[in-house]
Structure 1
Amino acid sequence: MSVSSSSRGRDLGDTGADRQNTLVLIMFFAAGIVFLDRFGITFLFPQIGGDLHLNHSQLGSLVSVTAVAWAISSLIFSVLSDRFGGRTKWMIVGSLVLFSSAVGLIGLAPNYGTMLLLRAVIGFCEGPALPLIQGAVARASSPGRRGRNMGVVIAGTLLIGSALAPGIMIGLASALGWRLAFPLVAIPGIVVAVLVAVLMREDGSSGADAPRVKARDFRLVLANRNVPLALVGTTVCIGANIGFGTFAPTYLSEEGISRGTATLVLTVYGCIIALGSVITPAVSDRVGRKPALFAAAVCSGLVPVFFVLFAHSVPLLLASLLVGLMAGGSLTLVTYVIPGESVPRELMATAFALQIAVGETIGGALGPQLGGAIADATGSLSNALLLYGAAPVLLAVVALLIRETAPRLGEKAPAPAAHEASGEAALS
C-alpha cells in the first residue's frame, strides 16, 4: 500500500501549534493518571506489606504482574489501532475508565491473592493507554517539536506518577488509611477520561482514502536495526526504572528516614526526573538522539548509586539527584522517539507497543523480582538498588549502536536503506 503526501497532509502532522499544544496538555494529564494509578501503590508498600504480611518478593510481584498484563494488552490494542487507521480516542477513554475502576477496588482486597488479581486487571486495562497516547502526539507533532512533545507526555507520568504521588498516596493513607486511598485516587482517572472524550479530536483519517495497514506491513517495524536495538535499551530502562521505583520508598523507610523526609526526597526526585524528561528530548531535537541517549544512560546509572551513598545526608542526596535532569529523558528517547522515527508513521503505535511489550514482559517483570530476591537473600535493599545502577551500562551501549534519527540532523546521518523508512515516510 502507499500513502501519498496529500493524504499525510490531512492528518494531525500538519496541524497548527495551538492544536498540538492542546493535545499535548490533555495527554500530559492522561499519561500522568496512568502512572499514578499504576505505581502509586509502591509508596504504600510499607503499610500494605505490614498489614497483609508480605515479603519483598511478594511486593515486587504486585508490580511485576501489572507489567506483564500491561505488555500483552498494549501490543494487542496498538496493533488493532494501526491496523484500522490509528483511530484511538475511544480506546484511550475506555482504558482510563476501566483501570481507574479497578484501582478503586484495591482497597477492598482482603489478601495477597485478590490484590495480585486486581493488579493484573489494572495492567491489562492500562496497557493500551500510553502507546496510543504517544502515537497520537507523535502524529500531531511537527518534526522539530516531536522529541519535546513526547517528552512532555512522559513528564506527566513522572510529575504526577512520581513527584506528586508520594504526597498524594502517603497523605491520603496517613489521614484515612491505605484502603480508602485507592478509591479516592481512582476519581481523577474518570475525570481525565471525560476531558479526553470532550476535547480530543480523533486523529485517524476517514473515508475511502483512510490509510489501512496490511498484515504484511508489520514486518517494517523490525526492518530497521534501531528497533531491535531499542528493544534491548527499553528492557533495561524499564526494568531498572520500575525496580528502583518499587523499592526506593521502602529502602528509605528501612534506613530509618522519616516519612516526611522520604516524601520530600521522592517528590524532589520526581520533579527533577519529570523536568529531565522534557529537557533531554528537547536537547536531542538539536544535538541528535545518540549523544542525548548516551548521556541519559550514564546519568540513569548514577541515580540509584547516589541513593545508597547519600541516603543519610539529605542535602547531598538532593544535590546529587540533579543528574536526573539528563536521566529523565532516557525512557522517552529509547522507547518512543527513536523507534517512532525509525518506522513509517502509520506503524508508530505498534512500534511503541512492541517496545512496551518486550520491555514490560522482561524488564518490568524481572526488575522488581530480581531486586526483591536479591534484597531477601542478602538482607539489604541497597544491593538491589546497586543492581539498578549497573543495568544502564547496556543502555549506553545501545546509544552507541543506533543510527541517528533526529530530523534536523537527517542530512548528516547515513541514508537509510529502502526498507528502513523513517517515521517521516509512508508505507510503500
Structure 2
Amino acid sequence: MSTIGPLRGRDRDLTGASGQNTLVTIMFFAAGIVFLDRFGITFLFPQIGAELHLTNSQLGSLVSVTAVTWAVSSLIFSVLSDRFGGRVKWLIVASLVLFSSAVALIGLAEDYRTMLLFRAIIGFCEGPALPLIQGAVARASSPERRGRNLGIVIAGTLVIGSALAPGIMVGLATAVGWRPAFALVAVPGIVVALLVAVFMRDERSAAGTHRVRARDFRLVLANRNVLLALVGTTVCIGSSIGFGTFAPVFLAARGHSPATSTLVLTVYGLVIALGNIVAPAVSDRFGRRPALCAAAVCGGLLPVFFVLFADSVPLLLVSLVVGLMAGGGLTLITYVVPGESVPPELMATAFALQIAVGETVGGTLGPQIGGAVADATHDLANALLLYGATPIVLVLVSLLIRETAPRRR
C-alpha cells in the first residue's frame, strides 16, 4: 500500500489551502462540463428525435455509444499517461478542447448515423478527462483534505451535469434552437481548458521521480483494494444509473405532476451532490471503511424511501437527507480508496480501470435488470427495491478493504 503525499518541487504552490482550493474549483467546473456535454443531449431528445425521425432505440444508442467509447479511451489514455509520466495538464486541456469541439458539431448532424458518429467521438475525447482530473487533484491534495477534495470534483458532475443541465440545455434550445444550443454549450469547455492551461502546474517534475515500467501495472491489478473496489464501483454505477432511469417514471406512475417530479428529482440531485462532499470529508476524519459502510447503508435506504413515501411529497423530501452520506459512496469506492492503495504515479490507471469496468458492466446491466424485474412483476416499485438491496454488496466490500485513510493508518 502506498502512502500518497502532495506534489513536490514546482508544484509546491498547490499543496497549500489556497492552491488546493484554486485547483479543486477549476476541476469542479471541468468535471461538471464533462457530464453536461455527455448527458445534456438527453434533455433535447424530444426535439432531436422529432426532427431526425429517430426511434427510442436509436435515441438510447446515442447514450450507449458514448459510454462504450468513454470507457475504452479512459483506460487507454490513463495507462499511457501513467506509463510515460507527466503531461497530465496538457492531456486534460486536450480532452476538454476536443470533446467541446465535438459537442459543437452535434448541431450539424443531419441523420442518425452522423449523430451516432459524433457521439462516439465525444465519448472517446471525454474518456481520459475524469480519471486524469481526479489523479491530479489527489496528488496535489494534502492527506487530511484528499477525500473532501475528490468529492467536491465529483459534486461538480452532479450540480452542473445533472441539477443545472435541464435548465441550461432546454433554455438554450428554446432561445436559439437545439442545433445552435450545442455550439453555445461547447464554449464553457474551451474556457475551462484555458483556465487549466494557465493555473495548473505541469507534473513532469513530480512524475519524473519514478518512471513507470510496463510491469508496474501489475501493482494495480494485483492490489486487493483495487479488485474489491471494482466490485463496489460496478454495483454503485449500476444501481445509480438504474435508479436514475426509473425514478422519474415511477413518480409519474404514482400520479405526480411533472412539476412535482422535477422538484423531487432536483432536490435529490442537489443532496447527492452535497453528499459527495460530506461523506468523503467524514472519511478524512474517521476512516474510509466506516464512511463507506455508512454510505452504502444510506444508499440502500434511498430507493426504499422512494417507494414507502411516494404518496407523500413532504415525507419523501425529508427522507432524502440520507443522501448526505449515500452520495459519497461512489466517490469513496471509485476514487479515494483505489487512489490511496496504489503508488501516486499509477493513480490515473486505477481510476480509469474502475470507470471502464463500472461503466461497461454496471452501467449496462443495472438499467436492464431493473427494467426486466419491473416488466416481469408489472410494478416499477420492485425495480427500485432491487436497487435498494444491491448496496448490501458495497457493505461487504467496505468490511473487506484495507483502511487507506492516512489518519487511521
Q: CA deviation at 1:359?
A: 1.0
Aligned to 1:165: 165
Aligned to 2:260: 261
* Per-residue CA distance 1:165-216 (angstroms, 9 max, x = gap): 2322343445555455433322221221121122222123179x54310111
Q: CA deviation at 1:118?
A: 2.8
- 1:176-255 matches, within 5 Å, as 176=176, 178-205=178-205, 210-253=209-252
Inter-CA distance 300–173: structure 2 relative to 1 (3 Å threshold) = farther
Alignment of 1:398 onto 2:390: no
* Per-residue CA distance 1:93-124 (angstroms, 9 max, x = gap): 11112212222333444555444333222211
Question: Is contact 2:28–2:155 with CA below 8 Å preserved after alignment?
Answer: yes
Aligned to 1:417: none
Q: CA deviation at 1:31?
A: 0.5
TM-score (norm 1): 0.85
Inter-CA distance 242–362: structure 2 relative to 1 (3 Å threshold) = same
- Paired with 2:247 and 2:47, the residues of 1 have a C-alpha distance of 15
Inter-CA distance 12–333: structure 2 relative to 1 (3 Å threshold) = farther
Structure 1 gaps of 5+ residues are 411-428
Aligned to 2:287: 288
Aligned to 2:277: 278
Inter-CA distance 96–378: structure 2 relative to 1 (3 Å threshold) = farther
Q: CA deviation at 1:408?
A: 0.1
Q: CA deviation at 1:218?
A: 0.8
Aligned to 1:125: 125
- Paired with 1:6 and 1:103, the residues of 2 have a C-alpha distance of 37
Alignment of 1:77 onto 2:53: no
Q: CA deviation at 1:393?
A: 2.0
Q: CA deviation at 1:70?
A: 1.0
TM-score (norm 2): 0.89
Q: CA deviation at 1:155?
A: 1.1
Aligned to 1:342: 341
Q: CA deviation at 1:92?
A: 0.7
**Other structure's SS at 1:348 match:** helix
- Paired with 1:306 and 1:175, the residues of 2 have a C-alpha distance of 38
Q: CA deviation at 1:144?
A: 0.9
Question: Is contact 1:289–1:333 with CA below 8 Å preserved after alignment?
Answer: yes
Aligned to 1:325: 324
Q: CA deviation at 1:8?
A: 6.2
- Paired with 2:133 and 2:95, the residues of 1 have a C-alpha distance of 11
Question: Is contact 1:12–1:139 with CA below 8 Å preserved after alignment?
Answer: no
- Paired with 1:187 and 1:7, the residues of 2 have a C-alpha distance of 32
Inter-CA distance 255–53: structure 2 relative to 1 (3 Å threshold) = farther
Mean Cα deviation higher: 63-72 or 253-262: 253-262
Inter-CA distance 311–346: structure 2 relative to 1 (3 Å threshold) = same
Aligned to 1:54: 55
Question: Is contact 2:5–2:143 with CA below 8 Å preserved after alignment?
Answer: no
One-letter identity of the residue aligned with 1:236: V
Q: CA deviation at 1:324?
A: 0.9
- Paired with 2:6 and 2:277, the residues of 1 have a C-alpha distance of 30
Aligned to 1:299: 298
- Paired with 1:117 and 1:357, the residues of 2 have a C-alpha distance of 20
Aligned to 1:150: 150
* Alignment coverage as a number of residue pairs: 406
One-letter identity of the residue aligned with 2:288: R
- 1:83-94 matches, within 5 Å, as 83-94=83-94
**Other structure's SS at 2:407 match:** helix
- Paired with 1:303 and 1:343, the residues of 2 have a C-alpha distance of 32
- 1:26-41 matches, within 5 Å, as 26-41=26-41
- Paired with 2:325 and 2:185, the residues of 1 have a C-alpha distance of 30
- The structure with the largest helix share of the pair is 2
- Paired with 1:199 and 1:46, the residues of 2 have a C-alpha distance of 39
Question: Is contact 2:237–2:363 with CA below 8 Å preserved after alignment?
Answer: yes
Inter-CA distance 8–198: structure 2 relative to 1 (3 Å threshold) = closer
Question: Is contact 1:297–1:330 with CA below 8 Å preserved after alignment?
Answer: yes
Question: Is contact 1:239–1:359 with CA below 8 Å preserved after alignment?
Answer: yes
Mean Cα deviation higher: 238-247 or 227-236: 238-247
Question: Is contact 1:86–1:346 with CA below 8 Å preserved after alignment?
Answer: no
Inter-CA distance 258–187: structure 2 relative to 1 (3 Å threshold) = farther
**Other structure's SS at 2:204 match:** coil
Mean Cα deviation higher: 23-32 or 36-45: 36-45
- Paired with 1:84 and 1:148, the residues of 2 have a C-alpha distance of 29
- Paired with 2:340 and 2:46, the residues of 1 have a C-alpha distance of 41
Inter-CA distance 312–110: structure 2 relative to 1 (3 Å threshold) = farther
Question: Is contact 1:288–1:405 with CA below 8 Å preserved after alignment?
Answer: yes
Question: Is contact 2:73–2:128 with CA below 8 Å preserved after alignment?
Answer: yes
Mean Cα deviation higher: 304-313 or 345-354: 304-313
Structure 2 gaps of 5+ residues are none
Mean Cα deviation higher: 76-85 or 243-252: 243-252
One-letter identity of the residue aligned with 2:392: V
One-letter identity of the residue aligned with 2:214: A
Inter-CA distance 408–84: structure 2 relative to 1 (3 Å threshold) = same
* Per-residue CA distance 1:267-317 (angstroms, 9 max, x = gap): 222211111100000000111111111111122222233334444433222
One-letter identity of the residue aligned with 2:150: M
- Paired with 1:71 and 1:6, the residues of 2 have a C-alpha distance of 28
Inter-CA distance 98–305: structure 2 relative to 1 (3 Å threshold) = farther
Inter-CA distance 144–236: structure 2 relative to 1 (3 Å threshold) = same
Inter-CA distance 370–183: structure 2 relative to 1 (3 Å threshold) = farther
* Per-residue CA distance 1:118-141 (angstroms, 9 max, x = gap): 322221111100000000001101
- Paired with 1:132 and 1:384, the residues of 2 have a C-alpha distance of 34
Q: CA deviation at 1:386?
A: 3.5
Inter-CA distance 267–170: structure 2 relative to 1 (3 Å threshold) = farther
Aligned to 1:21: 21
- Paired with 2:30 and 2:123, the residues of 1 have a C-alpha distance of 15
Inter-CA distance 185–47: structure 2 relative to 1 (3 Å threshold) = same
Q: CA deviation at 1:378?
A: 6.1
